[in-house]
Structure 1
Amino acid sequence: MRKLKIGIVGTGKIFEGAHAPGWLANPDVEIAALCDTHLPAAQAQAERLGVRRVYSSYEEMLEQEELDAIDICTPNIYHSGIAVAALDRGLHVFSEKPDAISPSEARRMADAAQRAGKVLMAMRNNRFTPQARFLKAYIDTGAMGEIYTARAGWLRRRGIPGRGGWFTTKALSGGGPLIDLGVHMLDVAIWLMGNPRPIAVSGATYTKFADSTIAVSPDARFGTLVEGGTFDVEDLATGFIRFDNGASLQLEFSWAANVEEDIKFVELRGTQAGCSLRNAELKLMTELAGALCDIAPRLTPPHELPHARNIHHFVDCMLGRSQPLYTPEEGVDRIAILGALYESAGRGREVRLGE
């Protein structure tokens, strides 16, 4: 069987560090072409990876190459337009998160995927960690009972990416840590909760560290520092979501905040058990033989990044070997929640969804 030909749009750090290892490790695909508006960046990656075809325009790449799929690693604002263009040409699409910067753009993408009958998937690497996969299987057995409330967050003490560049420019990114980090933990929490339907959200955003130059989080390496550039997004966001089944979810995300440590977490409260996933440490809290018990599952360490496992799943879906673990409709749902949280923060009151 011939290998699937993949075209890459955007050849920066997220491609090099997170996406490329997955494509290179998959025996069913080959990177056929690279595209970046900064052509020297694409040329440098092409030389490193042994790719011969390089473009500065994704439109030209789509026109000239016979591709099976593209991978979008651009600033957020461009995800939806590139995805729709590729889907309309009959290509499968994989994209770095977030799916889009607005619910309407996420809907355009989902509709285009349905018209084309192609796989559309955004990066959801946090669903592919050993801890998340174990938790999902555990929950699906019914061992946690009714999950009625949860907390999720991703906090950095000082980890603003690309200050002054596209990350901190709302017109290009759609927002700060809420859309950058929040899309990850919001998604995995709702997925573990069984995908209840959100009905109302309340959010608040803050910008308190736009002038800070301290960067201690390793994640601050993403993006490019632009002296005197734009910083018109939040550096911390909080939120609260109500679901149609009565469940609720509390949220907190920061690029910069006076917290003790960098941490990402999901905590679920169930009637039969609870769980705490803090970075890579998973604990279950339950009752056994009339006593309260904390359980720490021993899980096999992964041999590759969860980003790569997500890409392998996408390839399996393209080849019909798996059904998508993550659907475009879930993408529309998550972006709608993020959009409503920003709207709530701007209005200073709760926002109802679907009204």
Structure 2
Amino acid sequence: MAEKLKIGVIGAGGIFQWAHSAPLKAHPEVEIVAICDIDLEKATAAAAQHGIPQAFSDYRDVIALPDIDIIDICTPNLFHSEIAVAALEAGKHVFCEKPDAVNPGEVLRMKEASEKSGKVLMVMRNNRFRPASRYLKQWIEQGNLGQAYAGRCGWTRRRGIPGKGGWFTTKELSGGGPLIDLGVHFIDLAMWFMGNPKPVSVTGATYTKFADGPDIAGSEHSKFGEKAEGEGIFDVEDLAIGFIRFDNGASLQIEFSWASNIEEEENFVELRGTKAGFKFSNGKLGIFGENNGVVTDLVPRLGKDTGGHGENLAHFIDVVKGREKPIFTIDQGIDMIKVLSAIYESARTGSEVKL
């Protein structure tokens, strides 16, 4: 049996515990040998919980371990690029949680470090691995959608501000609010379904209306992150809306919120094509078109949807092993962060931003 790939995890918080730990521990070809968190007590507790032999408080100590093959980054957004570049320069493969980085320049640094090192760099795009997404991508590539010319996507929560007052709501650490937290998921999915056209301009607006009130109990999303004692910091948006134009003439409306007075939470991607259209909403997929002159609806019966995180990590391992070509490239990540940054700029200036 081939020797297992050794993984060092940076960040022992909720995303590692919730989305990374189980699939990595279950994968027969990898072994987590070190975990790091700026809070050493948290790293030590996670190491004990998951049977990880070494715990550290400085990510540089993990990268310096000679037997480490892969660095898995699960930190606040600000540190994604810093750790990724250091790991790649040390000759490690890198898997990183979304978003890729907090600005386009940092993603470019990651790309350059990856190309120079020859190591694999991949950022989490778990929604591409959900059963409906895989079905739709194949269905689209078979020509069933026709030309995708317009769409909408979003993730709107009634209540669910993650870690209010903590790093999620602190712009310096997160890069923004729901646009960069949730938008990266469904803007990416929409653009992927559209064939990754190049964005050429955006218009956007952002709002912060729930910073001063209590985060209403009952939303599972408010459990993400760690709330700050006392007031904390809340200098990001809680709602972002916008419009993206692409080089092929297609367009995409977007809306993302952590808190809004709406009927119910929804996450969705909807595309209109010249042959058919579809809506993937809250895990349910419907395809709308016509057949033999009759308007028809198609509702595929798909397998269990686990969110795609484990499948994304398994795909990364397959790419490292040379068995598969990457479904995600860092150039797609550069386009994503350019879009998000431009929407924030448009919201600030009140004007359209050209890319």
| TM-score, structure 2 as length reference | 0.98
Question: 2:354 — aligned with what?
Answer: 352
Counterpart Cα distance in 2 of 1:208 and 1:240:
21
Counterpart Cα distance in 1 of 2:225 and 2:181:
12
Query: Which of 288, 292, 302 matches 1:289?
Result: 292
What amino acid does structure 1 have at the position aligned with 2:257?
Answer: S
| Structure 2 residue 238 is the aligned partner of structure 1 residue 235 | yes
Q: Secondary structure at the match of 1:64?
A: coil
| Post-superposition offset of 1:71 | 0.4
**What does the per-residue CA deviation read over 1:303-346, in whole Å, with 9 as the maximum and x for residues that have no partner?**
x5410000000000000000000011111110010000101100
Question: 1:307 — aligned with what?
Answer: 309
Counterpart Cα distance in 1 of 2:269 and 2:235:
28
Within a 5 Å distance, the mapping from 1:50-89 to structure 2 comes to 50-89=51-90
**What does the per-residue CA deviation read over 1:252-276, in whole Å, with 9 as the maximum and x for residues that have no partner?**
0000001111110000000000001
Question: 1:259 — aligned with what?
Answer: 262
Counterpart Cα distance in 2 of 1:283 and 1:25:
33
Question: 2:99 — aligned with what?
Answer: 98
Instruction: Answer whether contact 1:160 1:215 (CA < 8 A) is retained.
Output: no
Q: Secondary structure at the match of 2:280?
A: strand
Question: 1:316 — aligned with what?
Answer: 318
Of 88-97 and 214-223, deviating more is 214-223
Instruction: Answer whether contact 1:217 1:262 (CA < 8 A) is retained.
Output: no
Query: Which of 307, 324, 338 matches 1:336?
Result: 338
What amino acid does structure 2 have at the position aligned with 1:187?
Answer: D
| Post-superposition offset of 1:279 | 1.1
| Post-superposition offset of 1:215 | 3.7
| Post-superposition offset of 1:65 | 4.2
| Structure 2 residue 14 is the aligned partner of structure 1 residue 13 | yes
Counterpart Cα distance in 1 of 2:106 and 2:116:
15
Instruction: Answer whether contact 2:11 2:37 (CA < 8 A) is retained.
Output: yes
What amino acid does structure 2 have at the position aligned with 1:311?
Answer: L
Counterpart Cα distance in 1 of 2:108 and 2:282:
32
Question: 1:208 — aligned with what?
Answer: 209
Instruction: Answer whether contact 2:97 2:123 (CA < 8 A) is retained.
Output: yes
Counterpart Cα distance in 2 of 1:149 and 1:261:
24
Counterpart Cα distance in 2 of 1:173 and 1:37:
16
Q: Secondary structure at the match of 2:3?
A: coil
Instruction: Answer whether contact 1:72 1:82 (CA < 8 A) is retained.
Output: yes
Counterpart Cα distance in 2 of 1:299 and 1:228:
45
Aligned residue pairs, count: 352
Runs ≥4 residues deviating over 3 A: none
| TM-score, structure 1 as length reference | 0.98
Question: 2:170 — aligned with what?
Answer: 169
Counterpart Cα distance in 2 of 1:150 and 1:110:
29
> Which runs of no fewer than 5 residues in structure 2 stay unpaired?
none
Instruction: Answer whether contact 2:149 2:250 (CA < 8 A) is retained.
Output: yes
Within a 5 Å distance, the mapping from 1:35-54 to structure 2 comes to 35-54=36-55
Counterpart Cα distance in 2 of 1:88 and 1:201:
34
Counterpart Cα distance in 2 of 1:73 and 1:93:
11
What amino acid does structure 2 have at the position aligned with 1:329?
Answer: D
Identity, in percent, stands at 55
Question: 2:251 — aligned with what?
Answer: 248
CA RMSD across the alignment:
0.8
